[in-house]
Amino acid sequence: MNIKILIASAALLLTVSCTGTTAPQTQGGTAPADRPAACERFGPNTRPPAEETPTTIDVVEQAYFCILAEYYGGATLDTRPLLVGGFAALTDELGRGGRDVAEATMPALTGDRQADWAAFETVYRRITDRLPEDAKLRERLAAVTLEAVVAELRDNHARWSYGGQRPPDYHDGDLYDLGLKASVSIPQVSNRPGTALPPLFVATVLGGAAKAAGLRPGDVIESVGGAAPFVGGRVTPAAVAALHPRYPQADPVRIGLLRPGTGRRWTVTLKPGLYQPDPAAVQRVTSKPLPGGLAYVRLSGFAPDAATRVLEAITALGTGRRLTGVVLDLRGNGGGSPAEVNRLLGGFAHGKVTAYHCTADGACDTERTDDGVTLLNLPLAVLTDRGCASACEHFSAAVKDLGLGRLVGTRTAGAISGPAQPYLLSNGTVLGFPAKRHLGPGRELIDRIGVAPDHHVPLTAEDAAAGRDPALAKAQTLLRG
C-alpha cells in the first residue's frame, strides 16, 4: 500500500493530536520481553515505515495487546470473544481454500488474557506450520484473523486499515463502486438494520456503471443477484453491501429494477470500477439561495476547513440580500473532525458545551463551541437522515439539545461510539479505535440510537423519481413561519 494512502487513512481516524508510545498493560503485569513493540499512537511526529510489510501473527499479537492497553474499557474487557472471533475467521478461510487441518481446534480459554493469547498463538502456529510455504496464503490468514478480532469489539469506530484498499491506477477524485447510492446505507445496515424500511431504491446516481446503464433516482431495486433485498419486511444486509462494493471486489452485480412512473421492469448487470463522479454529487460544500431570504448549504463531511467553507458560503449568499434563515443539509454526511463541528456551531451559539468525551471510569472532557467565530444570528434548520453519522451526529445532537434550530428528515445513523485514535503497528498498518465514549450535551448516549428529528419527513421512491425533496420543503416552511 502506498504510504501516502496509509497516512490519509490515519488522518481520518486522528481526532486528538498526541504522540509517543504506551507500553501495553494487561492483567497480571507488563508485557514479556519477546512481545512485539507496543503500538505507537499516530501523531504529527510519527514516522511510518516507507512501505507496508506483510501481516503476521506477531502483528495480530501487537494489535491484541494494543486494544487491551488503549481501547475504551480495555482494562476490564473480556477478550475471549475477540479470540474466538479471530479463530473462527481463520478456520473459515482455511475451509474456503480447501486447507482445513485436524489441528484447527479452538484452545480452551480461561479469561486470563495473557495465558489465553499464548494458547491461541500456539495453536495458530501449529496450524500454519502444516500449510505450504505460501507467503500470500499466510498473510491472508493473519489478515482475516486480525480483521475478525477488531470486528468483535462491535464498535463502529474501530477499524484496521491495511493494503489493497485502492486500485493501483487510482487518481485523485476517483471513486470505485457501481456509481449509485441506495436509500439504505452501509452504516444503517451495520448499526441498526431493523430501521431500514422497504422499498430499496436508487437515491443518487453518482456516475460510472449506474449512469451508463441509465439508472435514475427513484428506481426501485426489486432484486440484487436474483434475491429480494427485503425478506419479511427486514433488509438483507448482503444485498445492500453488494450495491456498495469496495475495491478489490470486481464481480458484476445483477439488479432487477422497477421504474414507478412508467411501470417498466428490467434487469441490468453493473460492474464495479473506477470513475470520476459527477462533481455536483460529491462536492464537499454546495450552496444556493432559496426564496424568502433563506440560504441553503449542503455539507458532505466535517473535513478540515469544512466549517470555514460553510460559513463563507452563508456569507456569500447574504451579499446583496437580507438572509432570514439557514437550511443546513447534512444528509449522507459521514462525519469527520469534532473541531470542525465546534467551529461551525460557534456560528450559532457561544459558551455552550456541545458534547462530552468520557473514559470508562467516568472522567469526561468537554467539547465546546468555538467562540472565536462570529455569530450569524440566523434561524437554523438541519436536514438529517440515516447517513448522518459520527461528527454529523455530534452537530445534530448539539443543535437539538441546545435549542439552536430544528432537525428535519429522519433519525441519524447511531454510529458515534467515540473519537477514534489511530495506532501504528509494526508492519506499517493502522489500527484505530476510541479511547473515550461520546455523549451528547445532555450526557445522553447517541451511539446505536441516533438523534431523532423534530420533524420526521422521510424521502420516498416516488419523491426521488419526481425530483421532490419533502424535508427541504418542510424546513423552508418552518423557517418562514
Domain boundary pick from 161, 183, 200:
161
- The verdict on residue 287 lying in a domain is yes
Q: Tell me, yes or no, whether 114 and 21 share the same domain.
A: yes
Q: Tell me, yes or no, whether 325 and 454 share the same domain.
A: yes
Note the pLDDT of residue 138: 95
Average pLDDT per block of 10 residues along the chain, 481 residues long: 40 36 37 62 70 93 96 94 98 94 95 97 96 94 97 95 73 87 87 88 95 97 97 94 87 96 96 88 89 97 95 97 98 95 98 97 96 98 96 98 98 95 92 96 96 97 95 98 85
Number of domains making up the chain? 3
Q: Tell me, yes or no, whether 92 and 222 share the same domain.
A: no
CA distance 36 to 427: 11
Note the pLDDT of residue 348: 98
CA distance 220 to 259: 6
> What's the grid cell of residue 72?
475504551
Note the pLDDT of residue 1: 38
Q: Tell me, yes or no, whether 223 and 124 share the same domain.
A: no
Domain boundary pick from 108, 133, 161:
161
Note the pLDDT of residue 13: 41
Note the pLDDT of residue 195: 87
Torsion sign across C-alpha atoms 193, 197, 199, 200: negative
**What is the per-residue DSSP string for 43-91?**
-TT----SS-----HHHHHHHHHHHHHHSTTGGG---HHHHHHHHHHHH
Q: Tell me, yes or no, whether 15 and 149 share the same domain.
A: yes
Q: Tell me, yes or no, whether 284 and 271 share the same domain.
A: no
* CATH number, domain with residue 426: 3.90.226.10
Q: Tell me, yes or no, whether 48 and 181 share the same domain.
A: no
Amino acid at 45: N
- The verdict on residue 457 lying in a domain is yes
* CATH number, domain with residue 260: 2.30.42.10
DSSP tag of 120: H
Q: Tell me, yes or no, whether 263 and 321 share the same domain.
A: no
- The verdict on residue 347 lying in a domain is yes
CA distance 181 to 237: 15
pLDDT in tens, 360-411: 999 999 999 999 999 999 999 999 999 999 999 999 999 999 999 999 999 9
Q: Tell me, yes or no, whether 43 and 90 share the same domain.
A: yes
- The verdict on residue 168 lying in a domain is no
Domain boundary pick from 122, 137, 161:
161
- The verdict on residue 186 lying in a domain is yes
Global pTM?
0.86
- The verdict on residue 261 lying in a domain is yes
> What's the grid cell of residue 333?
454526511
**What is the per-residue DSSP string for 395-464?**
HHHHHHHTTS-EEEES------S--EEEEE-TTS-EEEEESSEEE-TTS-B-TTT----SEE-PPPHHHH
CB distance 79 to 64 below 8 Å: yes
Q: Tell me, yes or no, whether 463 and 331 share the same domain.
A: yes
Q: Of 180, 187, 168, nearest to 248 (Cα)?
A: 168
Give the rounded distance of the alpha carbon of 5 from its chain centre: 17
Q: Tell me, yes or no, whether 202 and 143 share the same domain.
A: no
> Which domain covers residue 119, as residue numbers?
3-161
Reduced to 3 states (helix: H, G, I; strand: E, B; else coil), residue 213 is coil
- The verdict on residue 425 lying in a domain is yes
CA distance 110 to 120: 12
Note the pLDDT of residue 481: 85
Note the pLDDT of residue 261: 86
Q: Tell me, yes or no, whether 53 and 70 share the same domain.
A: yes
Helices vs strands, H then E, count in the chain: 14, 24
- Neighbouring C-beta atoms of residue 341, cutoff 10 Å: 28
- The verdict on residue 170 lying in a domain is no
pLDDT in tens, 421-430: 999 999 989 9
